[in-house]
């Protein structure tokens, strides 16, 4: 296989931060912004689904992440392959 089975996309999205240690209620709490790259499995008005790994022999994926559309910071996905 010379071509990826799905488009490869770059996603920039807002996520949550977890604070497991003791924190002051007056601390500055940030919303995390992160990047993810993966195979685009599904794209709808509600969500974007990418997989981080694809296996040719049995056509399976691993490391699937579902991004709610409202968390994605691009109007259009950045296709990189």
Q: Tell me the per-residue pLDDT of 26-45, one tens digit each, with 9 for 90 and over.
A: 888 888 999 999 999 999 99
Hey, where are the domains in the chain? 8-17+30-79
Q: Tell me the per-residue pLDDT of 44-78, one tens digit each, with 9 for 90 and over.
A: 999 999 999 999 999 999 999 999 999 999 877 77
Give the pLDDT of residue 1.
64
Q: What are the backbone dihedrals phi and psi of residue 71, each rounded to the nearest 5 degrees, phi first?
A: -90, -15
Calpha distance 42→51 (Å, rounded): 10
Q: What is the residue-wise DSSP string for 15-56? A: E-----S---TTS----EEEEEEEEEEEE-SSEEEEEEEEET
Whose tokens are 């685009």? That residue is: 40
Give residues with Cβ within 8 angstroms of 2, minimum separation 6.
none
């Amino acid at each position: 296989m010379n071509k990826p089975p799905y488009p490869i996309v770059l996603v920039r999205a807002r996520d949550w931060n977890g604070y497991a240690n003791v924190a002051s209620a007056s601390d500055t709490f940030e919303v995390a912004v992160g990047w993810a790259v993966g195979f685009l499995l599904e794209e709808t008005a509600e969500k974007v689904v990418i997989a981080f790994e694809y296996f040719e022999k049995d056509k399976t994926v691993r490391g699937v992440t579902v991004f709610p559309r409202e968390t994605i910071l691009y109007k259009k996905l950045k296709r990189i392959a």
